[in-house]
Structure 1
Amino acid sequence: NAWVRVDTINGVTFTRDANNNFVQAVNYAFQAGVRDTLVISDATNDASLPVELAFFRGRSNEGKIMLEWRTESETNNAYWLLQRREITADELEKINSGLMKLSDVQSAYVTVNNIRGQGSKTSATEYSQMDTDVKAGKSYAYRLADVSYNGVITYHDDIMIASELPKKFGLRQNYPNPFNPTTTVKFELPVAAKVSIKIYNILGQEVYTLVDKTMGGGFYEAQWNGINKHNAAVASGVYIYRILATSLEGKQRFTQTKKMMIVK
């Protein structure tokens, strides 16, 4: 019997023949004289059957995109490829006006993640994946591909999802609260703005500058680890944090104040 190479992808073991093609493993053995090398004999070709995909959809979720899909059955499905590409403003206008198909978007697909499949299964399976590497206000095309144990890749139809911008300025309550030693402050910008978030003690004295820069519209968060502007730990007690955001053209101005408590 001929020996063939073993590859592991996303926790699934594949083998390749002498021509570097995927094949299905039948019998496992260790080749004599080769230390710590798993090899396979008696490999046979595997003809895969398609996955029955019930739906593939997505939605914007505070600057991230949640993807969900369900299969009614799977046969020899080793893993999924979830892929994304960005749609330009010009392409989006043409798609919405019917002058361009989603499949004609020019940017290359990038792989968001590999998700392990169910192998062979005759009942339904639901999947979900959060894509955090997106920009608020941008539109994206997503596609799924199922990859069989013998390496056959089957692509499914693209879908288009917009990562929505916040509808208004906002400052969230920090969490955890009370906290020790670190807390997170979330805030939203519907447009690009100059942003300042400062922390004060109960006497109104400035303790620390959390954010001070120009930022595009989107959902953001910043962490405070309980230190002051001199890099010294602050005492337990109530502190006040305040956001001041001014749109770049100066027409919109937002300010809001909230309290937080550090307990040591």
Structure 2
Amino acid sequence: MDIKMKSIFQILLLFLITFTFQLFAQADISTSILIDDGAGGSKNLHFGLDSTATDGIDILLGESDLPPFPPPGAFEARFFLPDNNFTGTLGSYDDYRNAVLPFTGEKEFRLAYQPGTGTVINITWDFPQSITGVLQDIINGYLINVNMVDSGSYTVTNPDAFNRLKMLINYDAIIPVELVSFSASVNGGNVDITWQTASELNNSGFEIEKKSVSTDWQKIGFVNGNGTTTETKSYSYRDENLSSGKYQYRLKQIDFDGSSSYLKVIQLDINAPIDFVLNQNFPNPFNPSTNISFTIPKATHVKITIYNKIGERVGELVNKNLEAGSYSYSWNASKQSSDIYFYELQTDGYRSIRKMTLIK
């Protein structure tokens, strides 16, 4: 292998290794700041906490030892890591500190930068409520001392003189996902599932799983989470068109790194209806879609037909055999004009008609 081919191979290998590490890097707590020079040069830097972090280079968390700063006139921004007392022997675009959650305390991070064609350095942040900080010059904040709360920014007007700053970041009781409620209610043949969290940590979302007497646990849906937050968040999911019987539901919380845990299980009964019932559509009036629900107390052939006000058929929602239970179907009237319409439920031995209004 000649020198040129060997160099290309090494570059490709380095790219693959870097890509693999970045793909799986996910710290317990990760926050970002944006540094730019107002003239096109910018860099997002990531920092936070992790139970495996050290003061050196943590490759699996996405940290990498950078080469020396480029010549003046080329934009650059990075962290100086704590190794060797923040002297800059280790520089990285990511910096994570060791902490076991839940964590309350302060961590120091050092910023180093230089503008490109710009003449200033802008530092912009957007922190959750559980994270606050102070941006200071490295001489204990005698000349620069800026509170970092919620979202904000600070402009360094003389970056040649102040080319390094420190962030004193305070973490207030950072904890994993905390579930405070999980409930379900029966609405016709549907089950409405609701839950609430008091806090979330790197929460990608929730898988909703269901189990009946005759089936094992199976995934029926997914609801996106809110990442990292200490604010109360509410969620909901509807499981539709269920037959009578006993059902169990549980939540599977999934982190961004793919790790997961089961939070809670609830059980409820859906009783078989005792009468034929055609419910009023909802919403009504509507535009352009509405839901039409009904219950049947026994297995039968069911037909739902939509008519305009002069009796012309304009739609059909169902025309098949159904088991006893409660059902809901949606009608999209986007191709119809504003007017009054009628929907009819026909079964073996039962017929009912209701009116609905489309307003565009």
Q: TM-score of the superposition, structure 1-length normalised?
A: 0.56
Tell me the SS of whatever aligns to 2:197. Answer: strand
1:244 lines up with 2:346 in the alignment: yes
CA contact (8 A) 2:207 2:254 kept: no
Aligned-residue identity in percent: 24
Cα separation, partners in 2 of 1:23 and 1:43, compared to 1, 3 Å: farther
1:187 lines up with 2:294 in the alignment: yes
CA contact (8 A) 1:77 1:146 kept: no
Q: Which amino acid aligns with 2:211?
A: E
CA contact (8 A) 2:292 2:331 kept: yes
Q: Which amino acid aligns with 1:83?
A: I
| Matching residue of 1:78 | 203
Tell me the SS of whatever aligns to 2:23. Answer: strand
Describe the superposition over 1:40-81 as per-residue Cα deviations: whole angstroms up to 9, x where unpaired: 65566774444433222212223332222233444x342332
- Equivalences for 1:1-264 in 2 at 5 Å? 3=18, 4-6=21-23, 24=61, 47-49=100-102, 50-74=176-200, 76-89=201-214, 107-110=216-219, 112-117=221-226, 119-121=228-230, 125-132=232-239, 135-148=242-255, 152-163=259-270, 165-174=272-281, 185-198=292-305, 207=313, 210=316, 211-216=318-323, 217-221=325-329, 223=331, 225=333, 240-246=342-348, 253-260=349-356
CA contact (8 A) 2:293 2:326 kept: no
Cα separation, partners in 2 of 1:79 and 1:244, compared to 1, 3 Å: same
Question: Post-superposition shift, 1:7?
Answer: 6.0
Give 5+ residue unaligned stretches, structure 1: 30-38, 90-105, 228-232, 247-252
1 CA distance for matches of 2:65 and 2:229? 21
Question: Post-superposition shift, 1:134?
Answer: 5.8
- Corresponding residue pairs, total: 215
| Matching residue of 1:32 | none
Cα separation, partners in 2 of 1:78 and 1:215, compared to 1, 3 Å: same
Q: Which amino acid aligns with 2:250?
A: R
Cα separation, partners in 2 of 1:27 and 1:148, compared to 1, 3 Å: farther
Cα separation, partners in 2 of 1:44 and 1:141, compared to 1, 3 Å: farther
Higher relative contact order (CA 8 A, sep 6+): 1
2 CA distance for matches of 1:5 and 1:119? 20
CA contact (8 A) 1:237 1:261 kept: yes
2 CA distance for matches of 1:73 and 1:257? 48
CA contact (8 A) 2:207 2:221 kept: yes
Moved more, 178-187 or 50-59: 178-187
CA contact (8 A) 1:66 1:128 kept: no
Cα separation, partners in 2 of 1:80 and 1:225, compared to 1, 3 Å: closer
Question: Post-superposition shift, 1:143?
Answer: 2.1
Cα separation, partners in 2 of 1:44 and 1:5, compared to 1, 3 Å: farther
Describe the superposition over 1:176-227 as per-residue Cα deviations: whole angstroms up to 9, x where unpaired: 7677887654333233221234556777x66467343222222132537599
2 CA distance for matches of 1:24 and 1:187? 54
CA contact (8 A) 2:307 2:315 kept: no
| Matching residue of 2:130 | none
Describe the superposition over 1:125-160 as per-residue Cα deviations: whole angstroms up to 9, x where unpaired: 142221335623243322224445665433223222
Tell me the SS of whatever aligns to 1:158. Answer: strand
Q: Which amino acid aligns with 2:294?
A: F
2 CA distance for matches of 1:68 and 1:184? 21
Question: Post-superposition shift, 1:84?
Answer: 0.9
Q: Which amino acid aligns with 2:187?
A: N
2 CA distance for matches of 1:177 and 1:225? 13
2 CA distance for matches of 1:60 and 1:109? 20
| Matching residue of 1:95 | none
Q: Which amino acid aligns with 1:245?
A: T
Q: Which amino acid aligns with 1:68?
A: T
Question: Post-superposition shift, 1:24?
Answer: 4.7
1 CA distance for matches of 2:261 and 2:332? 46
Cα separation, partners in 2 of 1:150 and 1:62, compared to 1, 3 Å: same
Tell me the SS of whatever aligns to 1:6. Answer: helix
CA contact (8 A) 2:307 2:314 kept: yes
Question: Post-superposition shift, 1:88?
Answer: 1.8
Cα separation, partners in 2 of 1:45 and 1:81, compared to 1, 3 Å: farther
